[in-house]
Amino acid sequence: MAFHFIFCFFAPILFFSLFHCLFNSFKSNRRRPPLPPGTLGWPYIGETFQLYSQNPNVFFASKQQRYGSIFKTHILGCPCVMMSTPEAAKFVLLTKSHLFKPTFPASKERMLGKQAIFFSRGQYHTKLRKLVLRAFMPDAIKSFVPNIESLAEHSLRSSEARLVTTFHEMKTYTFNVALVSIFGQDGVVYSENLKRWYYVLEKGYNSMPVDLPGTLFNRSMRARKEIGRILARIISSRRRMKPDCNDLLECFMCEKEGLTEEQITDNIMGVIFAARDTTASVLTWIIKYLGENPSVLQAVTEEQEAVMRSKEEQKLSWEDTKKMPLTLRVIQETLRVASILSFTFREAVQDVEYGGYLIPKGWKVLPLFRNIHHNPEIFPDPSKFDPSRFEVAPKPNTFMPFGSGTHSCPGNELAKLEIMVFLHHLTTKYRWHMVGSNSGIQYGPFALPQNGLPIRLFRK
Ligand code: HEM
């Protein structure tokens, strides 16, 4: 009797629960969109080798031709979805950015430090961005023009009449500019020591995160500790003065919103990493494109000579850099053609549907800046270096050399400033020729002319 009662009571509940589960699972299976087309390549290595061993234009263009504007692949040990339209980039970086988190390879994250701005989200990221933007907004960087100018002049003088690797020289210049913007005058004092350890650190950026004696990663982590010690000394000497937001370090130390010493270390490493190779690669490409386009070089030189003639004193000012529209277009066109960051990385924090396809939770999502910048419907004859195309402003979300949305580049004004100051002295005082074949591309880690562009530089 009791059994009969229990059966009659629970059976309908059991039946309905079962039916409900089956119905839901059928519904979600039916609604689950397919993965994007494409291939995941070899186990673990995927298509990493194909991507980094050929001209990136060829890799991305052939994928897009075969599979369309959204496709899947597998690089650097992760399954990825690549997206090559302005709308998709806007979706990932801007309108639905909360569905994606910034992500980096594990070795890079440990070397830069977990609390660096790139990996952070939410309130902590908002706070960091406020501090970084305060240090790099035009009003703040104006005062660095004299320092940047003397670094540019010194860099050119030291390269005179020798065979130099452009990228190598540019890395020294952009490293020194980064230090000045972070530490003000202290940057010059600590430069050699910081440079020495930073050069050891960077060798392990793309290594496997295996912290055993003798490994690249282990050496890099030791260099990180040394840099941490130097930074601790600088911070303690600054604490004795009253920090007033004259440079990035002071902004990080300011009383109300100040960061801990560990957070400051992670973010200073992060800014050096973000500022140096990017700007050095762009400068290297500009020198190559100007060398290959004599009429553009002539026009830039005339613009820079006019700036020089228009003033009594020899030194450049912030206002002078606003009288260089053609030079600015050369920078923009270089950023477009070279697209030194072919893409950026995000990770889906939940299953996301886009364009009728599924992006599974945990997969990397890569908006392809390079494909957007080389789309002939947006930029006709895309491989031609033609600065005049920037006489008309590009449409929204079609030109993203500095990214887009909450993680877009806060250093873009400083990058343009240091490039302009350098080009002013290069074009008005020097001529150069490239040595050897320069048609290939290598990664260092950003797209770079073959062998870092060897050149010989002479005074006019
Ligand atoms: C021409 C040179 C440069 C290029 C092409 C460039 C490009 C970019 C891009 C595309 C991003 C966004 C990455 C993403 O969304 O995942 C970014 C972020 C960043 N850049 Fe730059 N950058 C340059 C120079 C600089 C300089 C000079 C500085 C500092 C002085 C700097 C500091 C940063 C920082 C701190 C971030 C991270 C922002 C965040 O996560 O909120 N960059 N950069």
Name the residue among 134, 152, 143, 132 with its Cα closest to residue 318.
143
Token pair recorded at residue 458: 């002479």
pLDDT in tens, 18-58: 445 444 544 455 578 999 999 888 877 778 777 777 777 78
pLDDT in tens, 436-459: 877 788 876 788 998 999 999 999
pLDDT in tens, 345-357: 999 999 999 999 9
- Check residue 44 and give its pLDDT: 72
Token pair recorded at residue 380: 């006709």
- What's the sign of the alpha-carbon dihedral 271, 277, 278, 284? positive
Could you say which DSSP state residue 380 is in?
S
pTM of the predicted model as reported, rounded to 2 decimal places: 0.91
Which range (49-53, 110-114, 189-193, 385-389) has the least confidence?
49-53
Token pair recorded at residue 31: 């609604």
Which amino acid residue places its CA nearest to atom 27 of ligand 1? Answer: 275
Question: Residue 254 and residue 335: Cα distance in Å, rounded?
Answer: 34
Ligand 1 centroid, distance to 412 Cα (angstroms): 7
Name the residue among 277, 259, 231, 249 with its Cα closest to residue 134.
249
Residue whose CB lies within 8 A of the most ligand 1 atoms, among 124, 129, 278, for a mutation test = 278
Question: Residue 226 and residue 91: Cα distance in Å, rounded?
Answer: 41
Q: What DSSP letter does each residue of 111-152 carry, written as one string?
A: HH-TTSGGG--HHHHHHHHHHHHHHHSHHHHGGGHHHHHHHH
What residue type is assigned to position 350 of the chain? Q
Residue whose CB lies within 8 A of the most ligand 1 atoms, among 151, 402, 413, 446, for a mutation test = 402
pLDDT beyond 70 at 343: yes
Question: Residue 227 and residue 234: Cα distance in Å, rounded?
Answer: 11
Which range (46-55, 244-253, 350-359, 367-376) has the least confidence?
46-55
Report in angstroms the alpha-carbon separations of 36 from 77, 97, 134, 223, 286: 18, 20, 41, 42, 37
41 half-sphere exposure, CB direction, 13 A CA radius: 19
- Torsion of the alpha carbons at 418, 419, 420 and 426, rounded to the nearest 10: 110
Q: CATH for 31-459?
A: 1.10.630.10
139 vs 312, higher pLDDT: 139
Q: Is 389 in the pocket of ligand 1 (CB under 6 A)?
A: no
Q: Where are the domains positioned within the chain?
A: 31-459
pLDDT in tens, 143-202: 999 999 999 999 999 999 899 999 999 999 999 999 999 998 777 788 889 999 999 998
Ligand 1 centroid, distance to 275 Cα (angstroms): 7
pLDDT in tens, 325-338: 999 999 999 999 99
350 half-sphere exposure, CB direction, 13 A CA radius: 5
Q: Are 449 and 289 in contact (CB under 8 A)?
A: no
User: What backbone phi and psi angles, to 5 degrees, belong to 73?
Assistant: -155, -170
pLDDT in tens, 197-245: 999 998 887 777 788 898 888 999 999 999 999 999 988 888 887 767 7
Token pair recorded at residue 83: 């997206």
Which amino acid residue places its CA nearest to atom 9 of ligand 1? Answer: 402
Q: Is 118 in the pocket of ligand 1 (CB under 6 A)?
A: yes
